[in-house]
Chains A and B, each alone.
Chain A
Amino acid sequence: MKILVTGAGGMLGGGVARKLAERGDDVTVLQRRPSSLAGVAGIQEINGDITDSSTLLRAVEGMDAVVHLAAKVNVIGPWAEYEAVNVDGVRHLVAAMQRAGASRLVHVSSPSVAHGGVALIGDGAGPADPEHARGNYARSKAAGELIALAADSSALAVVAVRPHLVWGPGDTQLVGRIVQRAREGRLPLIGSGAALIDTTYVDNAVDATVAALDRIDVAHGRALVVTNGEPRPVADLFARLCDAAGVPAPTRRIPFPVAWAAGAAVEGVWALGRRRDDPPLTRFLAEQLATAHWFDQSTTRATLGWTPAVSLEEGFGRLAQWYARP
C-alpha cells in the first residue's frame, strides 16, 4: 500500500513511518526539514510545508492512505499560526485526498480536544469541542478533528486517534523536559501529586495508529483515545521517569492555585515579550499536571483489535537502558 505520513519528523510520526516500511508498505514522508528517515529502506522523503496546498496535492498524488501527524504542538503562540497548520492544514489535506482519490485517512489528534479543563476520570472519547477546549493548541486540534471526521464518507474513510502523553526513549517533548527540569532542581509537583494520569509508551501509540489504518473499515467515523491504560499518580510517574534517567525525583510541591496563577503570569510575560519559545509553566500545563486524565480503553481496544504490547513497567526499563547507553 502507498502511504503518506505527514509530520514524520517527530517521535510518533517517525515510528509509524518505520513500522509501515518495515512491514513492506511503500511509505512517503512529508515534513518541513530533511530527517534521518530519508535513508531508511522503503521510505521516500518530501520536504515541504503542510500549509502549502500545492505541496500537499503533489504529496497525496497516487497514495492509497495518509497518516496525518503534522501539527503545531507548541504550548504557546498566536492563534493564526495554530489555525494555519492545525485547522486549514487539515482542510487542505482532505481536499487534496478527495481530489487525488486517496481513500483512507488516519488523523492523529489529542484527548485535549474534548477537554474543558476538568478532571477526566475513566472517560471515553467525547466529541471534539473547539469552544471549550483549553488553549490554542487544543482548540485548533479540535477544529481540525471535526473537519477530518466530517469528511468521512464511502469514498474516503477517516478515523481519528488521540494518543495521550506519548513518551519513550529519545522523547524531547515530555520526558526530555521533565528530566531536564529535575536535573536542574526546577521540577515541582503541583497539588497533592495524586492526580491520576494515563500515558502512552511510544511503541504502543505507533501500533495503535497502524492498527487504526488496518481496521479503518470498522473504525472509520470515530475518534479513539489511545493510552497504555495504566494510569498512575503524577508523583509516581515523575519519580519513575526521573529514576529511569538517573536524576533526583521532585520533592517540592506547589499548591495548584499558586501554579495556576504563576502559569498565568508567565503567559503574560511571554506574550508581552513576544517570545516564541515554550515557557516553563502555563495555566494549561498546571491543569494538565494537577488534574486526573485517564480513559476507558475498552472501546478503543475492541475497535482496533489492539492492546498495548509494552507495559508501563517495561517502558520505564527501556527508558533506563536508553539513558544508560554509552
Chain B
Amino acid sequence: MTLKIAEGVDPRWVRSVATAEGTWHVLDNQAVLDREPVGTLLCVHGNPTSSYLWRHVIAELSTGDRPWRVIAMDQLNMGWSSRTGRRRLGQRLDDLGALTDELGIQGPVVTLGHDWGGCISLGWAVNHRAGLAGVALLNTAVHQPPGSALPFLIAAARLPGLRRLVTATTPIFLQGTLAIAHPRLTPQVRAGYLDPYRGASRRGGIDEFVEDIPVNAEHPSWPALQGIVDGLPGLSDRPALMLWGPRDPVFTDLYLRDLRSRLPHAKVHRFEKAGHLVAEDAEVARAVRQWLEDDVEPRLPGSPAVPSHRTTDGLPEVIQRFLPDEARRSLWAPLETRAQDLSPALVEPTGHGSGQIGSWRTTTWMQLSGDVHRVAAGLTASGVKPGDRVALLVPPGADLTVALYACLRIGAVAVIADAGLGLPGLHRAIRGSAVKHVIGIDRGLLAARALRWPGQKISVGIAAGSARAKALGAGLALEDLKKVTLIDLPPAPAENAEAMVIFTSGSTGPAKGVVYTHRQLEGVRDALRSAYKLRTGSENPYDDDRFVAAFAPFALFGPGLGVPSVVPAMDVTAPRTLTASALAQAARALDATVVFASPAALANVLATSSALTADDRSALTGVRLLLSAGAPVPAELLTTLQGLLPQAELHTPYGMTEALLLTDVDLPELVAAGPGNGVLVGRPMPGVEIRISPLDADGRASRTETTAKTAVTGEILVRAPHLKERYDQLWLTQRETSTTDGWHRTGDVGHFDADGRLWVEGRLIHVIRPAGGFVTPYGVEQRIQTVPGVRRAALVGIGRAGAHQLVAVVEAPDAELGVAPLELAAAVRAAAGLELVAVLVTDALKTDIRHNSKIDRDEVGRRAAALLAGSRSS
C-alpha cells in the first residue's frame, strides 16, 4: 500500500515519525511556516477518519502574521500509520505521549480532537497540563449521558459477528460515515478518506476502535476513560472551545450538554446545518483561528496586547447604558404590588386557539399573582432549578403568562419557540436549546414525544394522571402545580442571569436562539413604556391603558408593565387569521386603548372589515394607539386602517428578535416622506444608538468604520440597554455580529436621511452585486409594486456576485406564470429604473411562516436562476 497525497494536502506537510510502537504518518506544517509560530495545535482524529480531517485547519493556521504549527497524526493502526497489535484507550494515550515526546513539542500547546480522538486529545491534555494553552473539541464524548441509550449505530456495529463485517471486512462503517456529510463530499475528498483503508486488512484498526468503546465499568478501557473524566475539572482554567454539528446520529446534543457540564466555561458554537463530519461541513478552521486569537493568544506569556474587536475609533469605550430614573424593577413587580387587585389582568376567549368568538375568560391581577407564585413554588418542588431551561409550548393567554412569569421568578430560563418556526424549525430550536423541562399543551407535548425532546414534561389543559397525559409522557400538570403547598421561593435571580430564549424567524437561515437576561427584558419593558407613554397606575384606573395583544413578543410584557391585556380570538400561529370582528370584540372585552398587531394580521382586518357591526366599530374608536410590528407595513394599508381606528395614532416600530424596539415612525410622517430608497422606519427610540457601517463597492460592510452621515448605505449597527445578551450556543455568530463595546450588527442595510430618519433597504445577505457596485432590494421592489397588476415583487441577483444580473420576480395574478409578457415587463423595467435582464411572474413568493411577509429572496433567487438557466442547466 503506497501513500497517496490526497487533494488539499500540501506534500510539504507530510512526515513519517517512528516511535518504539510504530511508524506514524504525520501532517506537520512546520516546513511551510515563514515565521515563528505562536504555539502548537495538536489535532487528533477519531474513527474511522485520519489526519486528512484536519487539512483545512492546517492550511488556515499556516498563513497570516501569527501562524500556528499544526501537527495532525494518523493514529497507529489508522490512516497511513503502521499496523500494530491491538491498542486500547490507555495504550493510545501512551502512544500519543510518546509521539509528542519524539517530536519534541513544547508549550504552548492547544489540543483539537474529533469523535474518539476528542476523548484521546482530552486525555493528552490532562496528562500534559504544564504546557497546555487550551482545548478544542468537535463532536465527541467522554461519557454516556444518563438516560441515553448507547447510540443505535454504535450498538448495531457492536453486535458480535456483525461488527467486524461492518467495520473491517467491508468498508460499510467508513463509507457510512462519509455518506452523512452535508453537503456531500466530492469524489476527490472521499478518496482522501478511503485511500488509507483500501482492503479489509487495513481496516482492522477501525474494528478495534469500535470494540474499544467502554460501555460499562467491566470494559478494559473503562479505567482509562474514567481517568480522563476525572482530570477534566483540572482544565477549568484553560480556554475551551466546542464546535458542534447537531445533525450527528451518534454524538447528539445530549453529549454536548454533558461536555458543557464538565467544561462550563467553554465557548460553544453549534453549526446548525452540520453533522458528524463538522470539519467538512462547517467553517471549523476559521472558528478555531478566531478562538485562538480571542481566547488563547492573549493569555500566552509575552503576547502583545491584542486589540479587542470594536467598531471604530472615536466611540466611547464604556457603554453609555441608558438607565431609567427609577431603580431596577423586576418583571414580576406588578404582580406583587397588585396581589390584592380584583380588576382584570388578562382576558382571553374561552376555547382559545380555535378562532371561534364566544365568551371571554378573565383573570384578575390577584388570581394571576397567586397562580404565578404557586406555580413558581410547584416548579421548584418538582425539581426545576435556577438556570434550568424550560420550553414553553403554550399559546398566548393566562397559562403562558403564568408559566412564563413563574419561570422568571425562580430564575428558570423560559425557552419560547413559537409555532411560527414551522415544525422542523421548532424541532431544531428545542433540540438545540439544552431544554430540561417542557411545559406544553397537547400539541406541544405530542411533538415533544414524537420528536423525542428530552426533559420533564408538564401538561397544560390536560389533567395529570389522565390516559392522555400518560400517553404524552406528562407526569405533571400546570393546574396541579397551582395547588401545591407554598414553599419559600429561591432568591430572585440576579439582573445578569439568563431569563429567556426567543428565536429569530429563520427567514434567512436556521432560526437562532437569542438569550435575554433579566435586566435586558426589563429594558425592553421600559423602552416599550417610555416610547409609547403607556399609562399605568392612574388615580382613576379607567385612565390606564389596556391592550389587545395580537403580536407575540410584546404580548408577554402586559403583566410586567402592569397593563391589562386581551388576546383576540385567532389562530395565534397564523397572524392572517385575525379578523376585523375578532379585533373589535377583543377591544370591546377590555375597552382596549392600545393594539399590537403584525402587518399580515392588519391586512386581514382590512379585508374582513365589511363584517363589522356598528357596535364593533364603536369599540374600535376607543383605541388611541396602534402598533404594527414585526415587518414593514405599507403606508396605504395604514391609511386605510385609520378609517377603522379614527382616534388612533398609527405607529410602526422597527426591531428584531435581537433588539425588539429600535426606531419608530407614525403614519403622518410615513405619508409625508413618500417613497424613497427603502422602507422608512423612523428615528431611534430613547436610549437607542444607531450607526451605519458603510458598504464598499463590492457590497460588503466595513468591519471597522461606522458613520451617522446621511445618504450613506451600510449595515445598520445598534446599541441599547435592551439588546439581547447573546446568541445561544452560537459563539462564532455572536463574535461576528457584536463588538466588545456593545454594538450589534443587525444584518440589515439602510441609510439615514437628512432629517436623521433611518431607512431600511434590505438584508445584507440580499444585497445584489452587479459589476461595479451594489443594489439594495427594498426601494426597487417598492417601485415595482406600484405597477398596476403587480401585488408583490422581489429583486434578486443571478450569476456570480460581482457580476450579478438583476431579475424581478413579481406576483401578478392576471399574468401567465413564467417570463412576463412584454408589456408587463416593460412597465416593471420602467418602474424599477435599472437594468433588469428578466421579469418573471410567480404565483406566490416564498415567505417566512411567522410574519408571512419576509420574502425568502435566496429561495426566490434560486428558482429564478434555475428557470432562467433553461432546460439543460448544469
**A165-209 CB contacts (< 8 Å) to partner B:** 190-196
Q: Cβ of B838 and Cβ of A232 under 8 Å apart?
A: yes
Q: Cβ of B800 and Cβ of A291 under 8 Å apart?
A: no
A230 to B870, CA, bound (A): 17
Stretch at the interface among B30-38, B387-395, B861-869: B861-869
Contact partners of B869 in chain A: CB under 8 A: 119, 121, 195-196, 291-292
Q: Cβ of B870 and Cβ of A196 under 8 Å apart?
A: yes
1/0 per residue, CB under 8 A from B, across A114-141: the answer is 0001110110000000000000000000
Q: Cβ of A190 and Cβ of B871 under 8 Å apart?
A: yes
Number of residues on chain A facing chain B (CB within 8 A): 31
Q: Cβ of A122 and Cβ of B871 under 8 Å apart?
A: no
* Known A121-B865, A236-B819: A191·B837 in contact at CB below 8 Å: no
Q: Cβ of B819 and Cβ of A194 under 8 Å apart?
A: yes
- From B870, B872, B874, A194 is in contact (CB under 8 Å) with B870
**B795-837 CB contacts (< 8 Å) to partner A:** 798-800, 802-805, 818-819, 822, 825, 835, 837
Contact partners of A121 in chain B: CB under 8 A: 798-799, 865, 869, 873
Q: Cβ of A192 and Cβ of B819 under 8 Å apart?
A: yes
| Chain A: minimal CB distance from B481 (Å) | 59
With an 8 A cutoff between CB atoms, is A213 at the interface? no
Q: Cβ of A119 and Cβ of B872 under 8 Å apart?
A: yes
Contact partners of B800 in chain A: CB under 8 A: 122, 296
**A246-265 CB contacts (< 8 Å) to partner B:** 256
Contact partners of A145 in chain B: CB under 8 A: none
With an 8 A cutoff between CB atoms, is B435 at the interface? no
* Known A119-B873, A292-B873: A231·B837 in contact at CB below 8 Å: yes
A241 to B802, CA, bound (A): 30
What is the size category of the interface that chain B forms with chain A? 20 to 34
Q: Cβ of A291 and Cβ of B819 under 8 Å apart?
A: no
A232 to B871, CA, bound (A): 15
Q: Cβ of B818 and Cβ of A192 under 8 Å apart?
A: yes
Q: Cβ of A233 and Cβ of B872 under 8 Å apart?
A: no
- From A118, A196, A240, A294, B872 is in contact (CB under 8 Å) with A118
1/0 per residue, CB under 8 A from A, across B662-687: the answer is 00000000000000000000000000
With an 8 A cutoff between CB atoms, is A320 at the interface? no
1/0 per residue, CB under 8 A from A, across B834-859: the answer is 01011010000000000000000000
**A262-310 CB contacts (< 8 Å) to partner B:** 287, 290-292, 294, 296-298
A194 to B869, CA, bound (A): 7
- From A233, A287, A298, B838 is in contact (CB under 8 Å) with A233
With an 8 A cutoff between CB atoms, is B771 at the interface? yes
Q: Cβ of A117 and Cβ of B872 under 8 Å apart?
A: yes
Q: Cβ of A192 and Cβ of B867 under 8 Å apart?
A: yes
| Chain B: minimal CB distance from A233 (Å) | 4
How many contacts A-B (CB < 8 Å)? Answer: 96
- From B805, B822, B874, A119 is in contact (CB under 8 Å) with B874
With an 8 A cutoff between CB atoms, is A8 at the interface? no
- From B771, B819, B868, B874, A118 is in contact (CB under 8 Å) with B874
Q: Cβ of B837 and Cβ of A232 under 8 Å apart?
A: yes
Q: Cβ of B838 and Cβ of A191 under 8 Å apart?
A: no
Measured CB to CB, the nearest residue on chain A to B865 is A121
Contact partners of A287 in chain B: CB under 8 A: 872
With an 8 A cutoff between CB atoms, is A239 at the interface? yes
A226 to B873, CA, bound (A): 22
A121 to B870, CA, bound (A): 10
Measured CB to CB, the nearest residue on chain A to B804 is A122
Contact partners of B865 in chain A: CB under 8 A: 121
Contact partners of A119 in chain B: CB under 8 A: 869-870, 872-874
Contact partners of A256 in chain B: CB under 8 A: 870-872
Measured CB to CB, the nearest residue on chain A to B800 is A122
A1 to B804, CA, bound (A): 39
| Chain A: minimal CB distance from B545 (Å) | 54
With an 8 A cutoff between CB atoms, is A235 at the interface? yes
Contact partners of B771 in chain A: CB under 8 A: 296-298
Q: Cβ of A122 and Cβ of B819 under 8 Å apart?
A: no
Contact partners of B772 in chain A: CB under 8 A: 298
Measured CB to CB, the nearest residue on chain A to B873 is A119
Contact partners of B799 in chain A: CB under 8 A: 121-122, 294, 296
Measured CB to CB, the nearest residue on chain A to B817 is A192
| Chain A: minimal CB distance from B593 (Å) | 53
Measured CB to CB, the nearest residue on chain A to B807 is A196
Q: Cβ of B837 and Cβ of A291 under 8 Å apart?
A: no
Measured CB to CB, the nearest residue on chain B to A197 is B870
A194 to B798, CA, bound (A): 14
A194 to B835, CA, bound (A): 17
- From B803, B805, B870, B874, A195 is in contact (CB under 8 Å) with B870
Measured CB to CB, the nearest residue on chain A to B868 is A196
Contact partners of A118 in chain B: CB under 8 A: 872-874
Q: Cβ of A298 and Cβ of B803 under 8 Å apart?
A: yes
- Which of B798, B802, B870: most chain A CB closer than 10 A? B870
- Which of B798, B805, B868: most chain A CB closer than 10 A? B868
**B464-511 CB contacts (< 8 Å) to partner A:** none
- From B838, B840, B871, B874, A290 is in contact (CB under 8 Å) with B871
- From A193, A230, A231, A292, B819 is in contact (CB under 8 Å) with A193
A192 to B870, CA, bound (A): 7
A297 to B770, CA, bound (A): 11
A235 to B837, CA, bound (A): 12
Q: Cβ of A298 and Cβ of B802 under 8 Å apart?
A: yes
Q: Cβ of B867 and Cβ of A291 under 8 Å apart?
A: no
- From A122, A235, A243, B803 is in contact (CB under 8 Å) with A122
Contact partners of A194 in chain B: CB under 8 A: 818-819, 838, 840, 867-868, 870
| Chain A: minimal CB distance from B805 (Å) | 6
| Chain B: minimal CB distance from A239 (Å) | 5
| Chain A: minimal CB distance from B771 (Å) | 5
A195 to B872, CA, bound (A): 9
| Chain B: minimal CB distance from A261 (Å) | 13
- From A191, A235, A296, A298, B871 is in contact (CB under 8 Å) with A191
| Chain B: minimal CB distance from A193 (Å) | 6
- From B818, B822, B870, A292 is in contact (CB under 8 Å) with B870
Contact partners of A117 in chain B: CB under 8 A: 872
A233 to B819, CA, bound (A): 7
Measured CB to CB, the nearest residue on chain B to A240 is B822
Measured CB to CB, the nearest residue on chain B to A259 is B871
1/0 per residue, CB under 8 A from A, across B768-786: the answer is 0001100000000000000
Contact partners of B874 in chain A: CB under 8 A: 118-119
A192 to B842, CA, bound (A): 14
Contact partners of A231 in chain B: CB under 8 A: 805, 837-838
1/0 per residue, CB under 8 A from B, across A212-235: the answer is 000000000000000000111111
Q: Cβ of B873 and Cβ of A122 under 8 Å apart?
A: no
| Chain A: minimal CB distance from B697 (Å) | 13
Q: Cβ of A195 and Cβ of B838 under 8 Å apart?
A: no
A297 to B800, CA, bound (A): 12
Q: Cβ of B868 and Cβ of A195 under 8 Å apart?
A: yes
- From B805, B867, B870, A122 is in contact (CB under 8 Å) with B805
A117 to B870, CA, bound (A): 12
Q: Cβ of B798 and Cβ of A193 under 8 Å apart?
A: no
Contact partners of A122 in chain B: CB under 8 A: 798-800, 803-805
Contact partners of B838 in chain A: CB under 8 A: 194, 196, 231-233, 236
| 29 A–B pairs (Cβ distance < 8 Å), ordered by A | A118-B874, A119-B873, A121-B865, A122-B803, A191-B870, A192-B819, A193-B818, A194-B868, A194-B870, A195-B868, A195-B871, A196-B869, A230-B837, A231-B838, A236-B838, A239-B822, A256-B871, A256-B872, A287-B872, A290-B871, A290-B872, A291-B869, A291-B870, A292-B868, A292-B873, A294-B805, A296-B771, A297-B771, A298-B771
Q: A190-B871, A192-B870 are in contact. List 18 more A-B contacts (CB 8 A).
A: A119-B869, A119-B873, A119-B874, A122-B805, A194-B870, A195-B868, A231-B837, A231-B838, A232-B837, A236-B825, A239-B822, A240-B822, A256-B872, A291-B869, A291-B872, A292-B869, A292-B873, A296-B799
Please list the 10 inter-chain residue pairs (A to B) with the smallest Cβ-Cβ separation, ordered nearest first: A122-B799, A195-B870, A118-B874, A256-B871, A291-B870, A296-B803, A191-B871, A290-B871, A196-B868, A119-B869
